[in-house]
Amino acid sequence: MAILELETLAPGPSRALRGWAAGVLRSPALLASYLWVIVILLAAIHPGLFVSGDPLQQDASSMLVQPGAHHLFGTDDFGRDQFTRTVYGARLSLQAAVVAVLIGLISGSLLGLIAGALRGAVDSVLMRVVDIMLAVPSLIVSLAIISALGRGTLNIAVAIGINSTAGFARLMRAEVLKVSNAKYVEASVFAGHGYVYRLFRHVVPNASRSVLAAATMDIGTAILTVAALSFLGLGAPPPTPEWGLLVAAGRTFIGVQWWLSLLPGLVIVLTVLAVYRIGRSFNRGRTSVIA
């Protein structure tokens, strides 16, 4: 009768934590990714830990100063410290990326869950809508939504979130269908558990693992997309410190004052790579539900 009472098996919290720590320490690249993300999060939450100046303060005597001990990233054409602006820009960029992923994750997961759970005509209709959404280039969809909502970082986040809904919906549906055919779910049927119980006790928790791992990696994509749309002038208006806007502001001087665009751009690239590396480790480290 033991098989009839099979539940989702997972390592205890302390064992799982030790395994996670050992895995991080074994990989220098993964450890560096975690450290970098922690630094970026601290900069977004409390930029005063890294800088003491005002990101909007102008200094006519220090315009276009090269990177050095007093100005790590140099200064822009208004004499504003570029490192200070980059640190303060982390908050707006990360907020937009997280909001975008949450919108796509929640809405997409609900659609995928409904399609995978109900199947039949409901599944067919929802998946055809998803196919249409996936057929249109993401940048065009985002630009269309921003045109309707107006410019602004929050509107960019909403546009990216809506645009990512289809991917999360398809992934969630696939995971629901796969988990629904697992042996421990069949054992729950023989144990007399109802469909709703099986769905929320077995199917949803286990199907959500892959979706959450994908959401982690999608944060990196969202950061890059937010920066790209802000670079095009669709995000926060100047002189707001925002990563994409910082890169765009420096393009006029890229031939001479290369640091204005390169250094903030390098921060964006490192952040995206670090988040993606962490997301890959989550996906690879996903434990079997009956391991």
pLDDT tens digits, residue range 79-133?
Answer: 999 999 999 999 999 999 999 999 999 999 999 999 998 888 999 999 999 999 8
Q: How many domains does the chain have?
A: 1
- Average pLDDT score over residue span 198-215: 84
Residue 175 and residue 282 in contact, taking contact as beta carbons nearer than 8 Å = no
Q: Which domain holds residue 172?
A: 11-53+73-284
Phi first, then psi, for residue 51 (nearest 5°) are -135, 155
**Would you say residue 60 lies in a domain?**
no
**Would you say residue 101 lies in a domain?**
yes
**Does residue 233 register a pLDDT over 60?**
yes
Percent of the chain predicted with pLDDT > 70: 90
Give burial (CB, 10 Å; 0-12/13-18/19+) of 119: middle
**Would you say residue 68 lies in a domain?**
no
Mean pLDDT across the chain, nearest whole number?
Answer: 85
Amino acid symbol at 194 = G
**Would you say residue 62 lies in a domain?**
no
**Would you say residue 136 lies in a domain?**
yes
**Does residue 286 register a pLDDT over 60?**
no
pLDDT value for 4: 40
Q: Give whole-number Cα distances, 98 to 208, 215, 219, in Å.
A: 18, 10, 6
**Would you say residue 194 lies in a domain?**
yes
Alpha-carbon distance of 212 to 282, in angstroms, equals 9
**Does residue 3 register a pLDDT over 50?**
no
Alpha-carbon distance of 79 to 77, in angstroms, equals 6
- Average pLDDT score over residue span 157-180: 92
| Nearest partner of 106 among 166, 165, 49, 149, judged by Cα | 165
**Higher per-residue pLDDT: 289 or 151:** 151
- Average pLDDT score over residue span 153-181: 91
CATH code, domain with 109 = 1.10.3720.10
Q: Left (φ > 0), alpha (ψ -120 to 50) or beta: where does 58 sit?
A: beta
> What's the pTM?
0.84
**Would you say residue 2 lies in a domain?**
no
**Would you say residue 231 lies in a domain?**
yes
Query: pLDDT tens digits for 11-35?
Result: 455 776 777 677 777 888 889 999 9
Q: Point out the least confidently predicted range of 18-22, 72-76, 102-106, 158-162.
A: 18-22
pLDDT value for 13: 59
Question: Which 3-state string (H, E, C) describes the chain?
Answer: CHHHHCCCCCCCHHHHHHHHHHHHHHCHHHHHHHHHHHHHHHHHHCHHHCCCCCCCCCCHHHCCCCCCCCCCCCECCCCCEHHHHHHHHHHHHHHHHHHHHHHHHHHHHHHHHHHHHHCHHHHHHHHHHHHHHHHCCHHHHHHHHHHHHCCCHHHHHHHHHHHHHHHHHHHHHHHHHHHHCCHHHHHHHHCCCCHHHHHHHHHHHHHHHHHHHHHHHHHHHHHHHHHHHHHCCCCCCCCCCCHHHHHHHCHHHCCCCCHHHHHHHHHHHHHHHHHHHHHHHHHHCCCCCCC
**Higher per-residue pLDDT: 202 or 232:** 232
